[in-house]
Amino acid sequence: MKIQIIISLIVALLLTQMPIIGKYFAMLNTMVHETGHSLMALLSGGEVRNISLFPNTSGVTMTGHTSWFSHVLTSLSGYIFASAFAFLLFYLLSKGKYTLIVILLLGLLSVNLLFWVRNPYGVFWIITFAVLFLWLLRSGHQTLIAYALTFIAALILVQSVISAFNIMWLSLTSPSGAGDATNLARATKIPAVVWGTGFFLQAFYFGIQAWKRFF
C-alpha cells in the first residue's frame, strides 16, 4: 500500500500539471471545495443558490446569508473542507473502507448535480466523471478499483495543498484578488495574507496527517 500511495501522489501531481486532461481531473478538488462552502452556508442558516465549475478549475458558489457570522464561516469552509475530506479519504483507505469511499464520492457528485451545479461545463463534468466512475465500479476489478480510489484520494490531497499554496501566494502578491482570503479580509479587516497563510498551513497539516496514516 505504501508504494501504491507514493505512485498515486506522483501521478496526481504530474497529471494535474498537464493541459486539458489535468484540469479535468483537478476539477474534483474544486467540486469538493465548493461543496464545503455550500454545506457550511446551509449549516449556518444561509442558502445555496448555485455552484458553477469552470474548465480552468475555478469554481464559484453563490450563497445567501442571514448574518455576518454565516458569511465568514462559509468563506472559511472551502479550503478546510477540501483538506479534511482528503484526510478522511486517506483514513478510510488505511482502514480498507473502500465501499464507504465510493458512497461518499457518488453522494457528492449526486448532490451537486441534483441541487447546486447548473452551468453547462459543471453539469458536463459531473456527468462524465460519474459515468467514468460507475464504469470502473461495474468492471468489478477489485485491484483496479482500489488503485483508482487511492488515486482519487491522492488527487484531492495534492490539489488541496497546491490550491491553498496558490491562494497564499495570491494573498501576498495580489491581496485584492485572492478569492476567499480577500472575502475574509473584507469581512473581518484582517489582512488577506493572514487568511491565505492560514489556508495553506491547515492544508499542509492535513497533508502530513494523511501521509502519517501509511508512513
Of 213, 214, 206, 102, nearest to 158 by C-alpha is 206
Distances (CA, A) of 73 to 88, 99, 154, 186, 209: 21, 31, 26, 14, 24
Instruction: For residue range 162-215, list pLDDT tens digits in order.
Output: 999 999 999 999 999 999 999 999 999 999 999 999 999 999 999 999 999 888
Identity (one letter) of the amino acid at 60? Answer: V
What is the rounded distance in angstroms from the CA atom of residue 111 to the CA atom of residue 114? 5
Residue 178: φ, ψ to 5°:
-105, 35
* Residue whose C-alpha cell is 470502473: 136
Domain count of the chain?
1
On the 0-12 / 13-18 / 19+ scale of CB atoms within 10 A, 161 is: buried
Instruction: For residue range 34-46, list pLDDT tens digits in order.
Output: 999 999 999 999 9
Give the range of the structural domain holding residue 9, as residue numbers without chain letter. Answer: 2-212
* Residue whose C-alpha cell is 505504501: 2
